[in-house]
């Protein structure tokens, strides 16, 4: 069975991000999953990878991954594509993952598919499912040239455990001078937050212009904390400076696919929908019954958010005290 390369997303101390387990679950359908691990931490992460079916773990423990941006990872994958001839390469559909995918496709003369929400085997190679035009159209695509490079949206596939050998295989790697052209000059650690990371969260509470102001937006944080959720925002909110840009959901923000997405005071413009349409359950609170968000909502409440959300908070508090 041909190998399927999975680029691991992980921390330097070896914590494997959930999206990697999702990619392994998809890779098992296509062939024999081999994880590609960049930098340190593989010894700590290998057991987790084995639990989700990794047969091999290629480890390139090179300092070249920490000082530069994404180019070294793309070079390493190109090196492995040449030596292993995998059936496909799967990467996380994060901003970085998509850039790696694009670079790898160019290096290997292959087709690339991004924003996949599912990947299944097909007669002509892996078939990727992609929502388009804010989810109005679903496309099934196959790469017809080279090695399929597929970027899969975080949270789109449910990770399923399955034992794998997870044999560690060291890989010699030195990034080229071209890959080192852009260097990382500094890192600013994110403010520590008790909230889940936006793209990995199971529940997201997102606020829109309907919150009225930065002060009004605080009700979104309160609701998120009551539900143990991440906070998201529409572009209207981030452009107005009511909430930081890294929390923007949509075409020019983050793409999310949680189990539950609460859209509060958000109209549901197509550019917002493009980033959240694949959420499993969508709940909308909006005072305008004609707001487009209700077209895709599973549940909707027509009402003023400053009346509805406090009632919701009371109800959550009551249930928690049971
Ligand atoms: C190229 C491009 C890229 C874009 N990328 C993105 C993107 O990534 N993400 C994104 O979000 N947008 C994006 N946009 C902007 C997008 O088109 C919309 O302008 C934006 O999503 C609107 O945000 P909103 O829903 O918060 O505001 P509005 O459209 O103004 O909607 C506010 C909603 O709140 C409701 N409301 C008001 N007061 C209350 C209240 N008290 N209680 C309950 N409901 C209330 C209103 O009925 C209304 O439906 C992009 C636009 C372009 C052109």
Q: Between the CA atoms of 258, 262, 265 and 269, what dihedral angle is there, to the nearest 10 degrees?
A: 40
Q: Of 237, 245, 284, 286, which is best to mutate to test ligand 1, by the most ligand atoms within 8 angstroms of its C-beta? A: 286
Query: CB count, 10 Å around CB of 139?
Result: 13
- Answer whether 207 contacts ligand 1 (Cβ < 6 A): no
List pLDDT tens digits, range 74-133.
999 999 999 999 999 999 999 899 999 999 999 999 999 999 999 999 999 999 999 887
pLDDT beyond 80 at 190: no
Gap from CA of 20 to ligand 1 centroid (Å): 32
Q: Using N-to-C axis directions, what is the helix angle for 71-84 and 95-108, rounded to 10°? A: 50
Could you tell me which residues come within 8 angstroms of residue 157 by beta carbon, excluding any fewer than 6 positions away? 22, 23, 25, 26, 117, 118, 119
List pLDDT tens digits, range 208-248.
999 999 999 999 999 999 999 999 999 999 999 999 999 99
Confidence grade of residue 192 (pLDDT, cut at 50, 70, 90): confident
Percent share of the chain, pLDDT over 70: 99
pLDDT at 200: 86
- Answer whether 266 contacts ligand 1 (Cβ < 6 A): yes
- Answer whether 238 contacts ligand 1 (Cβ < 6 A): no
- Answer whether 292 contacts ligand 1 (Cβ < 6 A): no
Radius of gyration of the chain (CA): 21
Tokens of 10: 């992980």
pLDDT at 189: 81
Confidence grade of residue 44 (pLDDT, cut at 50, 70, 90): very high
- Answer whether 309 contacts ligand 1 (Cβ < 6 A): no
List pLDDT tens digits, range 266-288.
999 999 999 998 899 999 999 99
Q: What's this model's pTM, rounded to 2 decimal places?
A: 0.77
Gap from CA of 119 to ligand 1 centroid (Å): 31
- Answer whether 10 contacts ligand 1 (Cβ < 6 A): no
Gap from CA of 269 to ligand 1 centroid (Å): 6
List pLDDT tens digits, range 240-258.
999 999 999 999 999 899 9
Q: Of 234, 240, 247, 285, which is best to mutate to test ligand 1, by the most ligand atoms within 8 angstroms of its C-beta? A: 234
């Amino acid at each position: 069975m041909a190998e399927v390369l999975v680029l691991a997303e992980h921390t330097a101390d070896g914590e494997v991000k959930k999206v990697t387990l999702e990619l392994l679950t998809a890779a098992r359908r296509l062939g024999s999953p081999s994880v590609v691990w960049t930098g340190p931490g593989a010894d700590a992460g290998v057991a987790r990878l084995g639990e989700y079916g990794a047969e091999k773990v290629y480890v390139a423990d090179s300092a070249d991954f920490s000082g530069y941006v994404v180019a070294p990872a793309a070079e390493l994958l190109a090196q492995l594509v040449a030596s292993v001839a995998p059936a496909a390469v799967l990467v996380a559909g994060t901003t970085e993952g998509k850039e790696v995918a694009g670079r790898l496709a160019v290096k290997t003369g292959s087709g690339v598919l991004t924003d996949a929400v599912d990947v299944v085997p097909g007669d002509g190679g892996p078939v990727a499912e992609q929502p388009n035009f804010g989810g109005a159209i679903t496309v099934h695509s196959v790469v017809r040239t080279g090695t399929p490079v597929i970027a899969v949206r975080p949270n789109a596939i449910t990770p399923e455990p399955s034992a794998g050998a997870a044999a560690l295989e060291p890989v010699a790697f030195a990034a080229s001078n071209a890959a080192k052209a852009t260097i990382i000059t500094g890192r600013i650690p994110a403010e520590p937050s008790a909230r889940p990371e936006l793209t990995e969260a199971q529940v997201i509470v997102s606020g829109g212009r309907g919150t009225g102001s930065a002060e009004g937006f605080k009700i979104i944080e309160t609701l998120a904390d009551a539900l143990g959720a991440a906070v998201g925002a529409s572009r209207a909110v981030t452009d107005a400076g009511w909430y930081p840009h890294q929390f923007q959901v949509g075409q020019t923000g983050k793409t999310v696919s949680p189990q539950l997405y609460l859209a509060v005071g958000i109209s549901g413009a197509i550019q917002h929908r493009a980033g959240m349409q694949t959420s499993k359950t969508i709940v909308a609170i909006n005072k305008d019954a004609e707001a487009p968000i209700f077209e895709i909502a599973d549940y909707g409440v027509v009402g003023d958010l400053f009346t509805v959300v406090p009632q919701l908070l009371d109800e959550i508090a009551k249930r928690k005290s049971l």
